[in-house]
Structure 1
Amino acid sequence: MQEKTPTEDELRLIHALQVWPRAPWSQLGPILDADPVTLARRWSGLTERGMAWVTAQPPMFETARGAIVEVECVAGSIDTVITELSQDSECMSIDVASGGRDLILTVGCHDPTAFKRYVVSRIASIPDVRTVRTHPIVTTISGASQWRLRALDADEASAIDAARHRDAARLSAMFTRPPVAERDIVSILSRDGRATTRTVAEALGISTRRARERLSATLASGAFELRTDMPRWASGYPVCAWYFLRVSAAQMVRVGANLSGLPAVRTVLSVAGPANLLVSVWLRELSDVEGLEAVVEQKLPAVSILDRCLVLGVRKRMGRVFDEDELPMHVVPWSGA
């Protein structure tokens, strides 16, 4: 059963961590007008109730390594297919969708060969999968890690972002050679992106000093992104939809940038296929779907809406497996972790 939605103070904290996922409580305190102990307790409550978390995710997808995959299942077998796919590290997200598909998968692999093998040999071979339509990702124009709750004002968000940049510069200055991410630490961060040095040391059976060095190198490597996320029902934007758009290549950059600037838009992907631009949105009301389409048609006449669908349920997001109430159960780290 889903919990009640977060309080305004909790939403402000989540927004702050969307800007800077590993922000020290001591630095957020003055901006959020709360002491560090209160913020730590507030965050602990959110994570325990499954309302928010920080995870590690792959950086921007590269061609032939990621895709949005539509899956049609044999009647009555959707749950069986979800159970099968949710344990695959390559299948990072699973949406249950309306319209001409049952599932929309976000797939990511460590190289083109693994990607081809997974889409062709793994997904298509599941007995209850009837049809697979693959949209290889050419460019991630904007990702869900950039979406914001809008619970903070512009000055507050800017102050946190400036502190984040200062911390990133400090971390980068620690290394004379390019740091390298360590897979076991990325796996830990996939489960808890705010994992402490002590947590890493205990998990790997190493000293605190060595854990600090390895964690710092992994965080500075640029091999992944940290993302603060939450269930859509807890966000105040419970309606999720996918749009399948067509736009000329000459207009792609301009249209992609304009779409990314719309508050409801979480993800904009340039893909290979008849629909060459896929967009994911979060909205407050079902009626907002038509309103968003009207905005797109008025402001972006070069865009053709080929198809759209509603997300009826989310069963996995960036490695986190959800139950039917969209509460996180466990984590299957992505294939690069």
Structure 2
Amino acid sequence: MSHIQPESTIQADVLDDLDHLLVTALQTSPRARWEQIGAAIGVDATTAARRWKRLTEAGYAWLSCHPAGIGPTPPVVAIVEVDCAAGTLHQVAAAIVDDPHLITIDHVTGSRDLILTGVFPDHSALARYVGLRLEALPGVAATRSQIASAVHAVGSRWRLDRLAPDGRQALTPDQASGGTVLRRGLSSADGLDHHLLALLGEDCRTSAALLAERTGASPSTIRRRLDRFHRADALIYRCEVARYLSGWPVAVTLWGVAPPDAARITGQLIAQRETRLCASLSGPHNLLLTVWLRSMEDMSAFEARLYARFPELTITDRAVTLWPLKLASQILDPQGRRIRGVPVSFWHDPAAERTEEDLIRRLAEPRRPGPDRMPGTPDHA
């Protein structure tokens, strides 16, 4: 087991070995007791808790939790590219950063300005959001959307991997500490479930006893509900660290073309140390990969390894993240430090719904052709 000397003063913008061990331990088991966390990293519980408090207050690291989905069908995961008019990028980003269903927002290089990852209850909700929300915003010049037909890996699986094997064995892994976006979730949820999910979204380490006190339910009822959440793989836990302090400061999104039967490729891609997100997409560029790299120089070497291992895979485009404005529902500053969180839920906008209803009414009214027009000819023809 690793033994670290009692904590020293955290210097500005520097994480020491204890910090990295602590983050790895919480990535492995986010709801473990501080006694377990301390035993895994070689310090006492008080030191572990105090150090974590200081990291989170500085925005260097954080925990978050949100539901994988509620309902009989899995949510629709979409990747939306946004082009902004000159000088409006930050205005557009500020307008959408609190949209509760947007999990990530990245300002990137290349042929688009923003890349959004969002979850929607169905395809019509995605169409409503893009057509009646995004494209109506001042500054949005164009959008392009693709649906993830399968999500093979997400950032909740990524680890700093600083713990020795005996340190990992000292922790009891949470059933919901990893996994993908497209989980089973809850087929239904009552008022207590929603209350619990909201409280866990505020602090995923809240104890069953405190959850019982805040909800008015008994501790045994709360424990049964939590067990149900975990059995259904209904919660996505994330322990993140500001990327520039992680040792992996460069984030790159790659688009590729893979053969229709790409299971062998995706199965190996998700095992790569650098992989944060791997998804199959609905468009001609049918594979999306987001990786964290040690340096910009590593990008060419990483792609070379991909081509050597997967000659049937073609990388068609790439974008480097300049500002990760939102990561796993947390708003970040340009350095990737946490500012605040946004509770995750499906987007709901009564104004957009009314606009859609008006459009449907107009579409339902047949247009009478004029005397010199063929039926169906537009007015402007």
Tell me the residue number matched to 2:151.
140
Q: Give the superposition deviation at 1:283.
A: 0.9
Q: Give the superposition deviation at 1:219.
A: 5.7
Stretches of structure 2 that go unaligned for 5 or more consecutive residues are: 1-10, 178-187, 348-381
Question: Distance in 2 between the 1:282 and 1:223 partners?
Answer: 26
Query: Structure 2 vs 1, CA of residues 39 and 179 (structure 1 numbering), >3 Å: closer, same or farther?
Result: farther
Identity %: 30
Tell me the residue number matched to 2:265.
255
Please tell me the root mean square deviation across aligned C-alpha atoms, in Å.
2.7
TM norm structure 2: 0.77
Alignment partner of 1:301 out of 280, 292, 311: 311
Alignment partner of 2:63 out of 51, 54, 64: 54
Tell me the residue number matched to 1:237.
248
Q: Are residues 1:45 and 2:59 paired?
A: no
Question: Distance in 2 between the 1:106 and 1:159 partners?
Answer: 35
The letter for the 2-side match of 1:102 is D
Stretches (4+) displaced over 4 A: 60-64, 165-168, 178-181
Aligned residues: 321
Bigger CA drift: 192-201 or 325-334? Answer: 192-201
Q: Are residues 1:93 and 2:101 paired?
A: no
Q: Are residues 1:151 and 2:162 paired?
A: yes
Question: Distance in 2 between the 1:192 and 1:34 partners?
Answer: 23
The letter for the 2-side match of 1:134 is S
Query: Structure 2 vs 1, CA of residues 106 and 215 (structure 1 numbering), >3 Å: closer, same or farther?
Result: farther
Question: Distance in 1 between the 2:97 and 2:103 partners?
Answer: 8
Tell me the residue number matched to 1:278.
288
Higher helix fraction (1 or 2): 1
3-state SS of paired residue (1:96): strand
Tell me the residue number matched to 1:194.
205
Tell me the residue number matched to 1:11.
20
Query: Structure 2 vs 1, CA of residues 167 and 272 (structure 1 numbering), >3 Å: closer, same or farther?
Result: closer
- Counting only pairs closer than 5 Å after superposition, residues 97-246 of structure 1 correspond to structure 2 as 97-160=108-171, 163-164=172-173, 182-197=193-208, 200=211, 204=214, 206-207=215-216, 210=218, 213-214=221-222, 217-218=225-226, 220-221=228-229, 222-246=233-257
1:158-194 deviations in Å (ceiling 9; x for gaps): 553xx226999xxxxxxxxx99772232223223221
- Contact 1:77–1:128 (8 Å) recurs in 2: yes
- Contact 1:67–1:134 (8 Å) recurs in 2: yes
3-state SS of paired residue (1:141): strand
Greater Rg, structure 1 or structure 2?
2
Stretches of structure 1 that go unaligned for 5 or more consecutive residues are: 169-177
Question: Distance in 1 between the 2:256 and 2:165 partners?
Answer: 31
- Contact 1:96–1:312 (8 Å) recurs in 2: yes
The letter for the 1-side match of 2:168 is A
- Contact 1:66–1:115 (8 Å) recurs in 2: no
Query: Structure 2 vs 1, CA of residues 167 and 234 (structure 1 numbering), >3 Å: closer, same or farther?
Result: closer
Alignment partner of 1:31 out of 16, 32, 40: 40
1:209-267 deviations in Å (ceiling 9; x for gaps): 636633651463132211111221121111000000110112x1110011111111111
Q: Give the superposition deviation at 1:58.
A: 4.3
Q: Give the superposition deviation at 1:322.
A: 1.8
Question: Distance in 2 between the 1:166 and 1:279 partners?
Answer: 25
Query: Structure 2 vs 1, CA of residues 166 and 56 (structure 1 numbering), >3 Å: closer, same or farther?
Result: closer
TM norm structure 1: 0.87
3-state SS of paired residue (2:133): helix
- Contact 1:63–1:137 (8 Å) recurs in 2: no
Question: Distance in 2 between the 1:215 and 1:318 partners?
Answer: 26
Tell me the residue number matched to 2:298.
288
Question: Distance in 2 between the 1:136 and 1:71 partners?
Answer: 15
Query: Structure 2 vs 1, CA of residues 330 and 30 (structure 1 numbering), >3 Å: closer, same or farther?
Result: closer
- Contact 1:313–1:324 (8 Å) recurs in 2: yes
Q: Give the superposition deviation at 1:59.
A: 3.0
Q: Are residues 1:317 and 2:327 paired?
A: yes
Bigger CA drift: 86-95 or 115-124? Answer: 115-124
The letter for the 2-side match of 1:146 is R
Question: Distance in 2 between the 1:119 and 1:219 partners?
Answer: 37
Indicate the structure whose relative CO is greater, using CA pairs within 8 Å and at least 6 residues apart: 1
Q: Give the superposition deviation at 1:336.
A: 5.0
Question: Distance in 2 between the 1:324 and 1:37 partners?
Answer: 32
- Contact 2:176–2:237 (8 Å) recurs in 1: no
Q: Give the superposition deviation at 1:329.
A: 1.9
